[in-house]
Structure 1
């Protein structure tokens, strides 16, 4: 069944490695006060053999093929219809299209690794046509139009793109990146969109948490009607908790009392099936549908504690610009990554200890996917 979503929420963020910061990011999405329909992430630092799964989202990913770092990924809610658009090999970008009525909205997730930009290249990435556009990315471009202290070559190239395609940069002048080591802010993460979308948009920097990166997450809400699929939750039999002795005791007398003189085989079969289903409803029961799964089932109170401590030190650094506070923040950030890594490993080992003959193999593979492990690493002996 299709229905209409009246606002489209997009979250964008330069992760500076989902390997290091991805697990905390999952926790932030799971506990967040809003649910983005689209998430655009730059500098994912992943390779094809490394998996990153975000529960409830479909990933469209582009890894850097030569060298380390880089890469982009766009996550789309599973109930949002979309189409992937092919991009040129040399561009670190992912393009997807969603629909607002009969109008196409092209969402461009873009990362520029400090290369020299030109308006022609940017125009070719966006493509031609009657579609509206939303650009989310780290352009590494400075321009006083969006809050930079100066305008450089890349900033002028982006400004030319705005003029050529009637686009609007909806940044409000807030800084989007904090170089803590130099105590320097910059505005290089941009959200750009067509004029028709910009007038009904809300944009802000989520300043409370860098999530281990040096870029702040950016929130954008656009008022438009987007087609959405209502995914029906199908109840399932509670097979694992079934009392089969009780089921047998209930079924036997009712099956024995059946009239064996029924000539119609199909009618006889339907009667047996009805009896089995009625008894199953009473004895076994059904679930109410698939429950929401945890993105990070291994997250502990200690993980939350060290994250809280690090964020407190971040606020202190932003006020004092003290070198001692900077060192304390970096140590706290390292502690966050260590505690998360240890908690994840401990959860996996405890899960392995519980595996026995009665464990469904699909549950084991499901846990491996949650832990984002390959078969080899999952069963590697220390």
Structure 2
């Protein structure tokens, strides 16, 4: 499916595979003119096409930028510009080796460089392999042909299956023998309602399976309610940076990437802390204060409690039982109580 681009230097389309949609782009960025304009258009196209999909991207082309990050012997200003663009769009070069992708004789001088890149999103990196410069192929250009392979075979993950038990014949025979005895005992029990009988049958089967059959490691993961789009985006940037560091051969550039990685990790830790606090408070706001915290408040007010069981304020001074009870209400029910003391007790 073709995609519309606002630059004549970019061609793009979407390809449907068993792993979902993949955005494929081909770009030419001249050495001098229109570089910023084309990079802006490419960034807009990538972000627009991945706004609703799983961000599976392949970006190929002549970027006219040299960098040791993708195997060139040096890094120039254009290369740094391309590096920044790739990091901003979470793309990782899959170029392998140091064979030049461009070779031409100009004014009697042989020029060689690696300016042609094949970049993929982090979720396609493990599926991309066998990247090669075809120096023996015949082309009408001063750039060599490039090939690489992408595996798109569908694989089950922890999020794809609710399978709990392994299907081992021996285990299932043990299950059948023991379950038969348990279910017979349930059947011989005193007559009861259909609901109770169904619950007993279910419990007997589940207990037998837990005892006789090995569990599968691939079970559906629980939803992370506090994880927001900002944290997801930061995690992807961290993964992209880690891969960039692993393939970067320039020590100075690698140190710069590691410094940025440390900053991003600190930033994501801060966002996680805030997201967890917000998620918990949003949950407690939905609770009925009179049924949940008022009994705790009454207990603290009317019971004789020792000081160590009370809460502390921002100066680590113990509060009275009454103030501790009010603090619980004021902290967890910010919308319906007047805040008298500000303290994060999570």
State whether TM-score is above 0.5.
Answer: no
Which has a greater percent of strand? 1
Question: Which one has a bigger Cα radius of gyration?
Answer: 2
**Which of the two has greater helix per residue?**
2
Instruction: Give the alignment's TM-score, normalised by structure 1.
Output: 0.35
Relative contact order: is structure 1 or structure 2 higher (C-alpha 8 Å, sep ≥ 6)? 1
